[in-house]
Structure 1
Amino acid sequence: MTKKTKSLVVVMAVTAMMLAACSGNGNNNGEQATAKPEATGNTNGNAGADKQEEPVTIKVLAQFGRADLTENEKAFFQKVNEALNIDFQLVIPPSSGYAEQLQLTLISGDVPDVVFFPSEQDEMFINAVRDGAVIPINSYLENSENLKNYSYEHSWEALKTMRDDNIYGVPRTSITRNDGFMVRKDWLDKLSIEIPADNEVTLDQFNEILRAFTFDDPDQDGKQDTYGVGSYVDANKVLLPVLVSELGHYGWQKSTDGSYPFMLPEYDAQSDVYKNILLYTQKLYAEGILDPDSPLNDSAAASERFKQGVTGVIRGFAGHVNAQEKVLKEIDPQAELTYLFVKGPEGKVQGTGYGTGIWGVWAVTAESEHPEKAIQAFDYMLSEEGWDYLYNGIEGVDYKLVNNEKVYNPDISRGIATSIMRRHNAPEFFLDPTKFTKEELDRVSPWVDKAVATVVTSMDKGYVPPAAREPQYMDYKLTWDELTTKIMLGDLPIDQLDKARADWYKNGGEQYLKEMNEYIQSLEN
């Protein structure tokens, strides 16, 4: 056992004892999951791997729900190992204790080749970059065409942590979507409401559906006990408006009045977009169309109200329609769902895509003896061959071919492998071929494709200006959230928005806008 391995084992043992003391019981103590490469064999596109050499070990500290690999997961990593002549080893601590494990690993001074960070804005990631524990990967990306082709350009910008040209990690991509609404199709049918074949409705048509679901007894039980739409509060207890992009809000975009080159509707006194967003939700709440429990519900509670037939419309991901429908049918066998997009002011479907397109970061550490191999592994997973294994699975393990059609093993799922890497332009990734019939895929795929195709990217790219971390700004942000929620609930008149904006500018907003505009302009240049 090498010195590095001994140190890693010590770190894992210490973490296991700490977690056992906290939780009392745990059956996942940071096990090492590995699929050993075969010594011989044809790899069918092995990226030039030399099978005469000893495999290069790449240890990866990762965050997943479990440490033990299923047989099909082992088979996937075996393919990666064979293609590159490596030994890709996952070190997976308990998911609930990952932050502690990560911190202990970093301060041990002896870390794996690759470490997973939950976010590019994670304080531990930023500190690791500053301390030199994480290294730039620019030179290794030069020959990584798959990583470059299948990751968002702005994801790479976000990983320039020190705001220079150095890139400090591989993005685990989150595909940006413009989610629409799940809608009770059986209610539509009972009320004789037809929807367009393209599942796109105007604002007036959407309003008609919401009113009918509220006042026309869509479940035909003779009671006034349903609501058109449900919403919920976020983690900060802020009520989410019913419509946002559908009323012309596309995040940070070029300003219309010139006071700043770029502006967000919330802070634009010359625009009525944000005012209309608040007023729309206020109107639905006042008329009893918006579920009155919305200001108290979190997302799980709102989803439960939808499942129980209290609300008929809820915003959600199109890829979840089938699973949601199956749950509904357990309660009401006649229940059916469809999916709707609401056209915006321009007469077409558009929705804001926020953030950096990153769902975690794979960072190469200064301890890695073969950083190029680590990057090759992630690049291979997005190659044609690697992606086929990752998404479709492996013949003879995940599926068998019957009349040239894939028939999946009903006892397997795609699991850990599909949580490592994603292609940014592959929305089909969301539709697990092991869980969908062909008919179900044919129904849902167009909705998922549209959700991805209609995204308008906010120009801030997920950047958080330093001004946002100033105490004065943070304190007023709480006040802002409270005021805007009260306006939506009708507890404050809409003209209070003007005063709230003026106070926002006085409490750090001016500096926030300055810094955000400087950042966006730097990307433009």
Structure 2
Amino acid sequence: MRQITRTRAASICSLSLLAALTAACGNDNNHSSNNSESPSASASTNASSPAASEQSKDPVTISLTEPDLGRVWKDDNAATKELETRTNVNLKVTMYPNNDFNSKYTVLAASGDIPDLSRLGGFDYQNYADQGLFMDLTDLIDKYGPNLKQNIPADLWDLTKYKGKQFVIPYENVAGKEVPVVRKDWLDKLQLKAPTNLDEFEAMLKAFTFNDPDGNGKNDTYGMGITNSYSETFMPIFGAYGIAPGLFGGSTPMASYVKDNTIVPVAVSPEYKAALEYIKKLWDEKVVDPELFTIKSDQALQKVAQGKIGYFNAWWSIAPQQLTQQLKMNEIVPEAKWDPILPGLTGPDGKSGMYSFGNVGAGMAISAKSKHPEEAIQFLDYLSTQEGWELARLGVKGTHYTEWTAPRTDEGQKAYDEKWLDPLSQIVSRVDLVQKLGEATKDPVEIENNRFINAASSYTLYQDVFYGVPLTDEHKTYGADVAKFEEEMFIKFVTGKESLDKWDDYVEAWKKKGGKSVLDSKVAKYNELKGTQMVSGV
């Protein structure tokens, strides 16, 4: 499993970040709200309109389709009109609801009549690339996209190559999304420090469960609980053993890592078994909420908000937004304070880490039939400049905002609240500018959000070796059954309904369920795309 240490923090202002992350969580889409003094643009970034020297030419029409990601399209959007003027284009934009976008786009692709520009989630372009729908952008980017090439990290360009061709311009995602969090006020009351390893973590959970951390004289708290998915809450433990199982299918089913030229599936690895043994010990010690495997997410959140849980691991926004702002936990439990566990939990071999959600949030493809591919690239290239990025995300300076650190103007806030101000902000990413925007904020609410955003980006991240590799036919056939079997056996092993002495039987059953067929097919596909000679690890 590839390890990624994210040193570039994702300090992204809360409101528009939440909208983007919710839509992307997968696509993380992955993210700005308040404004700060504009950071100086890179000296090599051309912030002028790509058509500045050609304004005598008639503007060209460029069609574009994208998921709405919580936005609405407004034809008379002043920011869009200004963007069209600066780039000498007329935009014809169609947005579909997030949950309907893929089905709508599949119909377009089947007809062979797609827009000039398509914003597709993650690696979805791979589903269509072999149909000849998209243009190889390599030469166009070299010639017309200097800012795109400079501002998008090199590893994203490499990740999004398909059979040696560059069919999309990648949209950078922030790979670290989740944070292990703890009741800081409970730690203080029990005179404990935040845990740094699994032994200290176990001791903390015991104290939170049995030492009356809320001081009500009742035995009614648990060290570990959940807010959404129980597989998430165990992720830092798996990370302490150097693995990330992929959330039982989640966004990267059949999560695997490389060892000695061999691709090993996490769910049947020795490290996974060791992590299971540790988790079972916690279960047997009764420091885990006994409803953890059965409770619904809204009920779990309420239990946490009522002050019954001392630790959970989940999306960065749960503690500062859902618990504090939406569920108003501090009105229920005034003393409650949540802190990220930093730098993370270290395991017996000194490893520590979290699940990587991947750094490719989307991809912009250009139709092979486009009559204006050069202008399309120039348009996207302008969006990658600081000037273009500000306009697409924040609106017209002086109308929608004044300075980055200042609140939006009344007009800008109204436009943002009505969700039509920044629909083009999801086309080209500038994570570095988003970070500077977050660092400059003076809003205490957003400062609190950024504590958790930055924590999520600070952990070592374990990336599935198959990240970006298209699903195989075998995976489509057997993958869901294999994932379901993994989940069922995880619960049985942890709760003791199945002894870990039967581990070898589990591995053999996993193979027969289709695990080996899926793995072998994915390894073959990996070798085909990467030009390697990896072998299957089961």
TM-score (norm 2): 0.73
Select 1:385's aligned residue among 384, 387, 400.
387
Select 1:85's aligned residue among 83, 88, 104.
88
SS of 2:312's partner is: strand
1:422–1:429 contact (8 Å) kept in structure 2: no
- Determine the structure 1 residue equivalent to 2:337: 336
2:228–2:301 contact (8 Å) kept in structure 1: no
SS of 1:359's partner is: strand
Select 1:59's aligned residue among 60, 63, 69.
63
User: What RMSD over aligned residues (CA atoms) do the two structures have, in Å?
Assistant: 3.6
CA distance, structure 2, for counterparts of residue 56 and residue 427 of structure 1: 30
Matched, 1:452 2:453: no
Deviation at 1:228, TM superposition (A): 1.3
Q: Residues 1-16 of structure 1 correspond to what in structure 2 (within 5 A)?
A: none
Deviation at 1:52, TM superposition (A): 1.5
Per-residue CA distance 1:367-386 (angstroms, 9 max, x = gap): 42212222333332222323
CA distance, structure 1, for counterparts of residue 405 and residue 442 of structure 2: 12
Question: Closer, same or farther in 2 for the Cα pair 1:486/1:359, shift >3 Å?
Answer: same
Please tell me the residue identity of whatever aligns with 1:182: V
2:233–2:314 contact (8 Å) kept in structure 1: no
Q: Residues 288-437 of structure 1 correspond to what in structure 2 (within 5 A)?
A: 288-318=286-316, 321-323=319-321, 324-326=323-325, 327-341=328-342, 342-345=344-347, 347=350, 349-355=352-358, 357-390=359-392, 394-401=396-403, 405-409=405-409, 411-412=413-414, 413=416, 415-423=422-430, 428=435, 431=438, 437=442
1:152–1:424 contact (8 Å) kept in structure 2: no
CA distance, structure 1, for counterparts of residue 390 and residue 193 of structure 2: 39
Identity fraction in percent: 23
Deviation at 1:274, TM superposition (A): 0.4
- Determine the structure 1 residue equivalent to 2:502: 496
Greater CA deviation, 100-109 or 139-148?
A: 100-109
**Higher Rg of the two aligned structures:** 1
Unpaired runs of at least 5, structure 2: 1-45, 245-254, 533-538
1:76–1:417 contact (8 Å) kept in structure 2: no
- Determine the structure 1 residue equivalent to 2:4: none
Matched, 1:205 2:200: yes
Deviation at 1:493, TM superposition (A): 1.0
Unpaired runs of at least 5, structure 1: 1-42
Deviation at 1:241, TM superposition (A): 3.2
CA distance, structure 1, for counterparts of residue 451 and residue 56 of structure 2: 47
Question: Closer, same or farther in 2 for the Cα pair 1:322/1:103, shift >3 Å?
Answer: same
Question: Closer, same or farther in 2 for the Cα pair 1:510/1:166, shift >3 Å?
Answer: same
Deviation at 1:249, TM superposition (A): 1.1
2:73–2:423 contact (8 Å) kept in structure 1: no
CA distance, structure 2, for counterparts of residue 264 and residue 66 of structure 1: 39
- Determine the structure 2 residue equivalent to 1:189: 188
Question: Closer, same or farther in 2 for the Cα pair 1:351/1:112, shift >3 Å?
Answer: same
- Determine the structure 1 residue equivalent to 2:133: 133
- Determine the structure 2 residue equivalent to 1:148: 149
CA distance, structure 2, for counterparts of residue 99 and residue 280 of structure 1: 41
SS of 1:338's partner is: strand
Question: Closer, same or farther in 2 for the Cα pair 1:152/1:481, shift >3 Å?
Answer: farther
CA distance, structure 2, for counterparts of residue 95 and residue 442 of structure 1: 29
CA distance, structure 2, for counterparts of residue 429 and residue 90 of structure 1: 29
Per-residue CA distance 1:179-235 (angstroms, 9 max, x = gap): 32122223333333344xxxx72223322332222222222222222211223775x
CA distance, structure 2, for counterparts of residue 48 and residue 252 of structure 1: 47
CA distance, structure 2, for counterparts of residue 491 and residue 185 of structure 1: 34
Per-residue CA distance 1:464-506 (angstroms, 9 max, x = gap): 5526426456544433332222112221111222211123334
Please tell me the residue identity of whatever aligns with 1:311: I
CA distance, structure 1, for counterparts of residue 330 and residue 240 of structure 2: 30
Per-residue CA distance 1:272-297 (angstroms, 9 max, x = gap): x1012222322222322222222123
Please tell me the residue identity of whatever aligns with 1:128: Y
TM-score (norm 1): 0.75
- Determine the structure 1 residue equivalent to 2:166: 167
- Determine the structure 1 residue equivalent to 2:243: 249
Matched, 1:523 2:517: no
